[in-house]
């Protein structure tokens, strides 16, 4: 069964799109066909894939979320000179209007799931690059996903935002009665810097009485992936529209992306 991964956070600038493109590259290297869906109005996926901005709404995911959509997904091939099997369906500012329309649409929350069921993609993995705040497109992506991957920076405010996002996920999964229920694949700490707040929040300070992110997630049975440190290489790669694996193949951070990609390939799709 096709795996659909919603990459979510409840904060902006924490590396969702960076994670999406790097996972797509690693998965393609394992022989998987991957479709990236830009679900964010800021359109970061366009830049990070090295693509031109869409000329109109018909070239974005907005077109997929219209009643008249009949299966001709506006997919753009990505990095074909280096790797095969990655396509991107872009987002952009039009999604602010899309969100408003979805609220008024029958089965609006299930619209993306319905389209993917009625018009199946040939890809092994679909990755939804979600917005940095909880909004209607978040709900649509959740309803269409089989798994959820969360990312954050190890900042106090981001951990608080993650707690709110987890509550929203649990409540929305229940309210929408999603079957199978999208499972939380894990949390990816991103942008780590060697400073007190980051060390404390990741449990590296070994201070008594300090509840860290690993301890909290362990209590909730949510996996924690290895930490991705802050790196100029990641930012530079994104700026030129490439995944780190192409821009700097021997950078050790690529191994973390590879490990997460392996976890995706090994994840099962529930039948509940």
pLDDT-derived band at 134, boundaries 50, 70, 90: confident
Does the pLDDT at position 269 exceed 80?
Answer: no
Q: How confident is the model over 7-47, as pLDDT tens digits?
A: 999 888 889 999 999 999 999 999 999 999 999 998 999 99
Which bin fits 191, alpha (ψ -120 to 50), beta or left (φ > 0)? left
Average per-residue pLDDT for the chain? 93
> How much is the pTM?
0.96
The answer to whether the beta carbons of residues 18 and 259 sit under 8 Å apart is no
Helix/strand/coil (H, E, C) string of 99-151? HHHHHCCCCHHHHHHHHHHHCCCCCCEEEEECCCCCCHHHHHHHHHCCEEEEE
**Domain annotation for the chain: domains and CATH numbers:** 3-266 (3.40.50.300)
The answer to whether the beta carbons of residues 93 and 82 sit under 8 Å apart is no
Structure tokens at 144: 């269409």
Q: How confident is the model over 65-74, as pLDDT tens digits?
A: 998 999 999 9
Integer Cα distance of 32 and 183 in angstroms: 21
Q: How confident is the model over 69-120, as pLDDT tens digits?
A: 999 999 999 999 999 999 999 998 888 888 888 888 888 899 999 999 999 9
The answer to whether the beta carbons of residues 229 and 193 sit under 8 Å apart is yes
């Amino acid at each position: 069964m096709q795996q659909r991964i919603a990459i979510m956070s409840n904060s902006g600038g924490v590396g969702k799109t960076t994670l999406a493109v790097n996972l797509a590259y690693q998965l393609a290297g394992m022989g998987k066909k991957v479709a990236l869906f830009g679900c964010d109005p800021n359109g970061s996926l366009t830049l990070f894939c090295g693509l031109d901005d869409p000329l109109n709404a018909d070239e974005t995911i907005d077109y997929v979320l219209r009643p008249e959509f009949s299966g001709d997904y506006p997919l753009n091939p990505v990095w074909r000179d280096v790797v095969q099997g990655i396509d991107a369906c872009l987002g952009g500012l039009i999604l602010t209007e899309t969100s408003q329309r979805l609220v008024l649409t029958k089965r609006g929350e299930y619209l993306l799931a319905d389209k993917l069921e009625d018009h199946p993609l040939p890809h092994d993995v679909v990755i939804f690059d979600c917005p940095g705040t909880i909004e209607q497109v978040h709900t649509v992506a959740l309803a269409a996903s089989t798994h959820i991957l969360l990312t954050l920076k190890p900042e106090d405010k981001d951990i608080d935002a993650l707690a709110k996002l987890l509550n929203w996920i649990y409540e929305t999964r229940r309210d929408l009665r999603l079957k199978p229920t999208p499972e939380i694949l894990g949390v990816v700490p991103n942008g780590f810097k060697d400073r007190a707040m980051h060390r404390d929040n990741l449990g590296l300070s070994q201070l008594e009485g300090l509840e860290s992110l690993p301890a909290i997630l362990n209590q909730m049975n949510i996996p924690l992936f290895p930490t991705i440190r802050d790196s100029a290489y990641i930012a530079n790669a994104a700026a030129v529209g490439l995944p780190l694996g192409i821009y700097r193949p021997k950078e050790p951070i690529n191994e973390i992306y590879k490990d997460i990609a392996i976890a995706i390939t090994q994840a099962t799709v529930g039948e509940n």
